[in-house]
Chain A
C-alpha cells in the first residue's frame, strides 16, 4: 500500500468510527489511545505499536499509541490512572510498575497496585542474565564462585527494580556484586560486550548477541527457557526463586462499566492472539500470551504482596 493509500484508509476509518457504526456491542465514540509510559523506540513502544495496528485492523476502531515517558514510567501510568473511565484510554507498561515500584525506598506513593484495572498481558518480558561469551563462568553458581575469588562482579543494571531483584537473587546464591545503573539495555550490553562489566539483565535486546555467539545466557530470568538459548537453565532450575516475573501489562483507569470492560478485554485478547502479534513475538523470542483481566490482576497482586514484604513498606 502506498503512503497516500494509507492516509486515505486512515481517514476513512476515522470517519467510520466518528459516524458511530451501529453494532450491538459497546463502541468507543472516538479513538482509543494506548498510553505507553516509555519513549518511542523502546521495546514496549514497538510491541505496543504492532499490537495497536492489529487491534485497529480487527475492530475498525482508531487505535493510537501515545508515548508519555517520564520518571521510569510513572508519569504516563499516573495519567492512565487519572483518565476518564470511558474505555478510550488504555495503558501498556510492565508488571514491575505495579508490583515493585510502589514499594521502592524513594517511591512517591502516587501509584499503587490497585490504582488501575488490569486488562491482560501481551507476553512475558524475556529477561535473561547474560555475560560475555568469554566470561570464566557459565551459570549463577559459577558467577558466585567467580565473585568470591576475584572480588565483586560488575553488574550493569538497566533499572532500579532489576538491581533490587538481583540483590534478592544474590542473597540466595551467594553472589557478590557492585551495580552501576545504565539508561537502558543497549548501554548495558555495550558494557558487557566490551568487557567493561561482567553481567547484565536484559529484556530481549540481547538475543542477537547470544545467537551470534558473543554472549551467553547465565540464567533465563523467567519461568521458561527462551528457545534461542535452550541449554541455559532458568533461575528456578538453578535452585533459586525467581524474584520478579515481568509481563507487558495492559491496564485501564478504574471504574470501567462492565460492558466496556468486557468488550475491550475481548478486543485485546483477539489482537494478542493474532498472527501479526505472534509473528513479532517470535522475532523477539517471546510467546504472545494474554493472562486476561482476572489472571493478570491475580499475578500482579501476588507479586506485589511478596515485594511489599521484602521491601518492608
Chain B
C-alpha cells in the first residue's frame, strides 16, 4: 500500500473512531467502566472477570459498541487500580500486580506512597498508549505473526520468562531459582491436561483443578504481610494532615527515571500481550527483570526503586491493550475476560476476525479511540484519587488489618464461589510466613506456579507433534532466537563476573 493512501485511510478511520467514541452515551459508559475498573482493581481479590460477568446482563440493553466500551474500560481499568493496594498494603490487587509489591510497598514504607502512585499512574498511561498505538498501526500484521508462535516458540518464551523470574528476587539467586521450581511443583497439582491423570490431588475434589492462583497470591503476599506487620515493626500511622500535594510530587530525579523504564516496560508488555494465552503477568515480571539488568544500581531494587514499580505497571497495561489484537482480529481470546468480550460481540451479531476491520470499522476504531479516551480518563481520575488512597495509610492498623482480611476473604471466595479457596489462602499464609522467616522470596514462586504448567504442556505438545524429535525446538527461526536470548540472559552476568575476577587477578 502507498504510504500516502495508508495515512489518508488511517486518518479517516480515526475520524470515524473518534466520532463513535465521543458520543455522549459512549463517553458516559467509558467513564463508568474505567471508574468501576479502578475501584474493583484496587480491592484485593475481586478480579476483572467477576466484575465483567456480573455486568454482563446489563450489556444486553446497550448498543454493541457501548457495551464493549464499558466492559473494555473495566478490563483495563483494573490494571490501573491493581497496583494501588500492592503499593499501599503489599496486597496485590490482581496477581499481575504482584511485582508492584516488590518495590512499591517499600516506597510506601519510606513515606513515598504518593510518588509511587502518581508515577505508576503516569507510567501506566504511557504503557497503555504504546499498546494502543501498536494496535492502531500493526493490528492485522501482528495478528498473523502471532499465529507463527507454535508450541516450540511458546516453550522458549516461557523458559525465558522463568529465567527472568529467578533474577527478580533481590537476595541470593540460588533461592530465587529454588522458589521458581517450588512454584512449578505447586503448579503441577491437579489434572494433567494430556493424560487426564490426577496428580498430587490426594482425593480432594477441589484440587483437581489445581491450587487457585488468587489464593496463593493472597496468602503469600497479603496475609503474610498482615501477620508480620500486626506486632512487628509497624510504621506509625501517617498523620492525614501531613499529606500535602508536596509529598505526592515526584522529585526531578523521579521524573528523570520515568521515561526509559516506562518505554521498555511498554515494549515488553506490547509484545507479550499480543500473544494469546500468555497474560500480563509474564510481561510485568520480565520487565522487572530487565530493569534490574540494565540498572547501574541493581542493589536498589527490592528496597523502593521507582523503576521497579513503573516498568512492570507500564508493561501490564500495555499487555492488556495489545491483548485485544488477537481477540478482535483473529477471534482468539487470550484470557477468559477477553472471551467474555468476544461473547458480547457475538450476542450483538458482530463476528470478530479480519473481516471486523472492514465490516464494522466504526466499532473497531471506535473501540480503539475509546481506549485513548478511557486511559486519559483514568489518568484524570487517578491523580486526585491518590490523596484519598494515601489516607488509607492514616487509618490505624488495628482497624485496617481486619478490613484487609475481609476483602481478601470475600475476594478469594467469590472467584469460584468455593470455600476451598479460603483454605488455600489460610494454608499459603502459613507457608508464606515460614518462607519470609527463612528469607525465601515469594514473587518467583508465583511466576513459577503460573508458567510451570504451561511450560510442561508446550514441551509435551512439541514432542507429541514432532514424534519425539527434539530438533523441533530449534528448527524454526523464532524459537532459535528465543533460545539464544535465554542463553544470553544466563551467560551474560556469569561472563561479566568472570571478566571482573580476571581483571582483579591481573592487577594483584
Query: Do chains A and B directly touch (beta carbons under 8 Å) in the complex?
Result: yes
Q: Answer yes or no: B147 CB below 8 A from chain A CBs.
A: yes
Q: Answer yes or no: A235 CB below 8 A from chain B CBs.
A: no
| Contact between A280 and B347, CB atoms less than 8 A apart | yes
Q: Which of B197, B198, B326, B340 has the most CB of A within 10 A?
A: B340
Closest to B461 in A: A180
Q: Answer yes or no: B464 CB below 8 A from chain A CBs.
A: yes
| A41-B343 contact in complex given A66-B417, A196-B151, A212-B353, C-beta closer than 8 Å | yes
Interface residue stretch chosen among A17-25, A42-50, A288-296, A301-309 = A42-50
| Contact between A40 and B53, CB atoms less than 8 A apart | yes
Q: Answer yes or no: A197 CB below 8 A from chain B CBs.
A: yes
| Contact between A75 and B206, CB atoms less than 8 A apart | yes
| A40-B60 contact in complex given A67-B417, A193-B330, A194-B147, C-beta closer than 8 Å | no
Instruction: Report the separation of the CA atoms of residues A87 and B136 in the bound assembly, to the nearest whole angstrom.
Output: 50
Closest to A196 in B: B150
Closest to A184 in B: B339
Q: Which of B191-208 contact A (CB under 8 A)?
A: 191, 193-194, 196-198, 205-206, 208
Q: Answer yes or no: B232 CB below 8 A from chain A CBs.
A: no
Q: Answer yes or no: B13 CB below 8 A from chain A CBs.
A: no
| Contact between A186 and B416, CB atoms less than 8 A apart | no
Number of B interface residues in the complex (CB < 8 A): 57
Instruction: Select A67's contact among B57, B205, B416, beta carbons within 8 Å.
Output: B416
| Contact between A49 and B205, CB atoms less than 8 A apart | no
Given the complex, which residues of B lie within 8 Å of A52, measured CB to CB?
Answer: 57
| Contact between A186 and B332, CB atoms less than 8 A apart | yes
Q: Answer yes or no: B333 CB below 8 A from chain A CBs.
A: yes
Q: Which of A183-230 contact B (CB under 8 A)?
A: 183, 186-187, 189-191, 193-194, 196-197, 205, 207-209, 211-212, 214
Instruction: Select A178's contact among B149, B340, B465, beta carbons within 8 Å.
Output: B465
Instruction: Report the separation of the CA atoms of residues A74 and B190 in the bound assembly, to the nearest whole angstrom.
Output: 13
Q: Answer yes or no: A142 CB below 8 A from chain B CBs.
A: no
| Contact between A209 and B353, CB atoms less than 8 A apart | yes
Instruction: Report the separation of the CA atoms of residues A235 and B337 in the bound assembly, to the nearest whole angstrom.
Output: 34
Instruction: Select B336's contact among A41, A182, A187, beta carbons within 8 Å.
Output: A41
| Contact between A6 and B58, CB atoms less than 8 A apart | yes
| A190-B147 contact in complex given A67-B53, A197-B465, C-beta closer than 8 Å | yes
Q: Which of A269-292 contact B (CB under 8 A)?
A: 276, 280, 283-284
Q: Answer yes or no: B170 CB below 8 A from chain A CBs.
A: no
Q: Which of B444-496 contact A (CB under 8 A)?
A: 457, 460-461, 464-465, 467
Closest Cβ of chain B: how far from A150's Cβ, in Å?
A: 12
Q: Which of B115-150 contact A (CB under 8 A)?
A: 147-150
Instruction: Report the separation of the CA atoms of residues A212 and B50 in the bound assembly, to the nearest whole angstrom.
Output: 32
Q: Answer yes or no: A261 CB below 8 A from chain B CBs.
A: no
Q: Which of A67, A110, A152 has the most CB of B within 10 A?
A: A67
Chain B 315-353 against A: per-residue CB contact (8 Å), 1 yes, 0 no? 000000000001000111110111110110011010111
Closest to B458 in A: A180
Chain A 139-163 against B: per-residue CB contact (8 Å), 1 yes, 0 no? 0000000000001101000001000
Given the complex, which residues of A lie within 8 Å of B354, measured CB to CB?
Answer: 212, 214
| Contact between A154 and B465, CB atoms less than 8 A apart | yes
Instruction: Report the separation of the CA atoms of residues A10 and B206 in the bound assembly, to the nearest whole angstrom.
Output: 33
| Contact between A41 and B49, CB atoms less than 8 A apart | yes
Closest to A160 in B: B196
| Contact between A180 and B205, CB atoms less than 8 A apart | no
Chain B 106-121 against A: per-residue CB contact (8 Å), 1 yes, 0 no? 0000000000000000
Q: Answer yes or no: A258 CB below 8 A from chain B CBs.
A: no
Given the complex, which residues of B lie within 8 Å of A106, measured CB to CB?
Answer: 196-198
Instruction: Select A68's contact among B351, B355, B417, beta carbons within 8 Å.
Output: B417
| Contact between B150 and A194, CB atoms less than 8 A apart | yes
Closest Cβ of chain A: how far from B371's Cβ, in Å?
A: 20
11 A-B pairs with C-beta separation under 8 A = A1-B61, A3-B58, A50-B347, A67-B417, A70-B418, A71-B208, A72-B191, A75-B205, A110-B205, A179-B464, A190-B147
Closest Cβ of chain A: how far from B438's Cβ, in Å?
A: 32
Chain B 32-66 against A: per-residue CB contact (8 Å), 1 yes, 0 no? 10000000000000000110110011101100000
